[in-house]
Amino acid sequence: MKRNICLFGLLIFLVVLPFFSGEFYVNLASQVFIFAVFAASINLLLGYGGLATLGHASYLGVAAYGSALIGLKLGLGHWIAAPAALVGTTLMAGAFGLIALRASGLGFLMLTLAMSQVLWGTAYRWVGLTDGDNGLRGLTRPAPFGIDLDSASAFYWFTLAVTVLSVWLMARFVRSPFGAALRGTRDQPRRMAALGHNVWLIRWITFVYAGFWGAVSGLLFVYYHKYIHPISLSLTNSAEGLLAVIAGGSGTLGGPLAGATIVMLLKNYASAYIERWNMLLGFVFVIIVVFMPEGVVPGSKRIYLKCRQRFASRA
């Protein structure tokens, strides 16, 4: 009950945010949401499936490019481009899953990395299609039901709605019997197989589902920026998504959302004050992974309790 009230309060706060904050912050919040959906999709694989992926940016990038190219080259509207991009990317996720799931653990990681790099390299080199390093620009935002999304607030509410819907659907997925089975394959794959579950199929379905949500975040991404560049397919992008999940705490629904907020705010604020932003990101990776592997919030709580304990025992 308490939790629901808190959540509801948070939702109210987010809805009224544009009324009392400047445009820049509304836009920043939109970016946080987009990144949060991306991180949440990674978490389906990592936190609930136990499969670490370094190639998730592929789904974001392919959906973004798909939507952009359908709009630019075929001149079709968003009501075709969006579903087409989503379907195409999900099919690609299915194909990638077939390959990646031939291995597990480190091999799986390497495969996802390799496939993502192939896409990244192709986006750069196939200039005829993607205009390479120039990226694709002159893109538009959709106008669902005729509502114009060009203003910061309108787009913010659209993104908020999509984010809430995504998180809700992912929550239902995770809390369903299928989700329980998934967690089973994460913790005890052999036992699950012995019990008769098709571990491979469970993982593959999750892989595809995670790819779908990655694609959704990709559409939001390209709508927000109205621009897409091959760097969005890079390893760094995937790694930052992973970092967000780990920072917030994998294996829970709220973790990636908190982590995404932390990483995105850090990126935007830190780079204003610190010149060596990449180094800071590296240190954050190291500190979080080494000292707070379960995530910033539980990790901080643990460290705080430990300090208090040590202090108490000395007194």
Partner 1 sequence: MSFNRRRFVQAAGSSGVALAFSKNIFSQTNSNVIRLGLMTVKTGPLASGGIDMERALVQYLRERNNTLAGRKVELLVGDSGGIPAQARTKVQELVERERIQIMIGPLATGEALAADDYIRQAQLLTLSVAAAEDMTQRKPNPWFTRGTSTSSQCAHPLADYCYKTLGYRRMAVIADDIPYGHEMCAGFQRVFEDLGGKIVQKMFPPLTVPDYGSFLAQLNPKIDGVFLGFAGSNGFRYLRQFNEYGLRGKVAPVGGMTALDEAVLRNMGDEALGIITSCWYSAELDNPANRKFAAEFRKEWKYDPGFYAAATYTEAAVLEATLGAIKGKIEDKQAFMKAVRGIKVDTCRGPVQFDPYGNVVGNVYLRKVERKDGRLVNSVIQTYPDVSQFWTYKPEEFLKNPVYSRDWPPAKNLES
Partner 2 sequence: MSMQFWVIQTLNSLALGGLLFLLASGFSLIFGLMRIANLTHGGLFMLGAYLGVTILKVVPNLWVAALLAGLAVALFGGLLEKLILRKLSGNVLGQVLVTLGVAYIIADACLLIWGGDPVPIQTPAFLQQPLRVAGFAFPAYRLAVVVLAVLVGAILFFIMEKTRLGAMIRAGVDDMQMARAVGIPVSRLFTIVFCLGAGLAGAGGVIGGPIMSAYPGLDADMLPLALIVVILGGVGSLVGAFVGSFITGFVYTFGVALFPQLAYVILFLPMIFVIAFRPRGLFGRFAA
Q: Which residues bind partner 1 (CB under 8 A)?
A: 2-3, 6-7, 9-10, 13-14, 17, 20-25, 27, 31, 124-125, 127-128, 131-135, 137-139, 150, 225-227, 229, 231-232, 248-249, 252-255, 257-258, 261-262, 265, 268, 271-272, 275-278, 297-298, 301
| Amino acid (1-letter code) at residue 88 | G
Q: Which residue has the tokens 């190219």?
A: 69
111 lies in the binding site for partner 2 (CB under 8 A) = yes
Cα angle 16-21-25, degrees, rounded to a multiple of 5:
105
6 lies in the binding site for partner 2 (CB under 8 A) = no
Q: How far is the CB of 290 from partner 2 (least distance, A)?
A: 6
Determine which residue in the list 14, 17, 72, 110 makes contact with partner 2, applying CB under 8 A. 110
Q: How far is the CB of 148 from partner 2 (least distance, A)?
A: 39
Q: Which residue has the tokens 């005829």?
A: 128
Distance, CA of 216 to CA of 70 (rounded, Å): 16
DSSP letter, residue 45: I
Phi, psi of 223 (to 5 degrees): -65, -40
95 lies in the binding site for partner 2 (CB under 8 A) = no
302 lies in the binding site for partner 2 (CB under 8 A) = no
270 lies in the binding site for partner 2 (CB under 8 A) = no
Residue partners of 56: CB distance under 8 A and separation at least 6: 38, 41, 42, 45, 112, 116, 210, 214, 238, 241, 242
Nearer to partner 2, 97 or 214 (CB): 97
Q: Which of 244, 222, 245 is nearest to 232 (CA)?
A: 222
Determine which residue in the list 40, 63, 81, 243 makes contact with partner 2, applying CB under 8 A. 243
